[in-house]
Amino acid sequence: MPLLALVTFFVTQLIVAILCTSFYIITTDDSDITGSMAMALIISSIINIVLMTWPLKMFLPKNDVKPAYIDIRYGIMAVCAALAGLFATDVAVTLCELSNEYEELMTTLSHTASGVIAIALIGPIAEEVVFRGAIMGYMLRKGIAPWIAIATSAIAFGIIHMNPIQIPFAIIAGIIFGVLYYKTGNILLSTFVHIVNNTIATYCANMETSSQESVITQPVIIAAVVAAFASATFLTIFWKKLSNPEYVPTIGEKEIIASTKNNK
């Protein structure tokens, strides 16, 4: 099922991108397809959310989108630690000077309203629904060890970024989101952090492009190193202090689990 969710996510994005781009080329004479790609990301994200909820039924809104009581101290600690870790990751990605068509497309999209909506809002929501709510949530409800569920969803999250150099950094981000999801039992906190991270990344991309100068200076690099250590420390505290929520299989999942055990 996790593989099915990953394939569904990728195929949906590919098909919608082809259709939107084809329609854009046919109906306009503009060779710039940035607008069509932004709409393709928005449409495919919405479709993926629907598919994961129904008919795949891997994402359970009643379980994964609910207010969860978390001590405000640990909630703030988790958000700050996650953003610090993501900041360090984003700086590392920038230092690698990733120059490829995918990165150029993302930078171009950040200059349009529809692109910002796709990258900073709809995209993060869809990715949390698919990779945390559907893939990771399904594995946890089947009783799979949390670290395996977190690692699997993080690796899948890294793969869909389609950039070999960026994959390790995306996996780290996926682990951070996975820890937030697992310890809270829903996607609200991880989605919030994901949206904030992408919004900041979009803003920085606009700044760097407009000034034609790198925003990564020596003080920023030092801050990123400190942030990485702080993130690891506070996420560890967050992991140890919060009790683990219960992940209960649905009726259909209980039947799958039972049949699996009977076949062994």
Statement: residue 21 has pLDDT above 60:
yes
122 is written with which tokens?
């709809």
Instruction: Please give the pLDDT value at position 207.
Output: 73
Q: Going by C-beta distance under 8 Å and a sequence separation of 6 or more, which residues neighbour residue 131?
A: 153, 154, 156, 157, 174, 177
180-206 tens-digit pLDDT: 999 988 899 999 999 999 999 888 777
Statement: residue 72 has pLDDT above 60:
yes
Instruction: Please give the pLDDT value at position 31.
Output: 66
Statement: residue 94 has pLDDT above 80:
no
For the segment 76-84, the average pLDDT, to the nearest whole number, is 92
Instruction: Please give the pLDDT value at position 163.
Output: 76
CB distance 198 to 126 below 8 Å: no
44-68 tens-digit pLDDT: 999 999 999 988 889 988 888 877 6
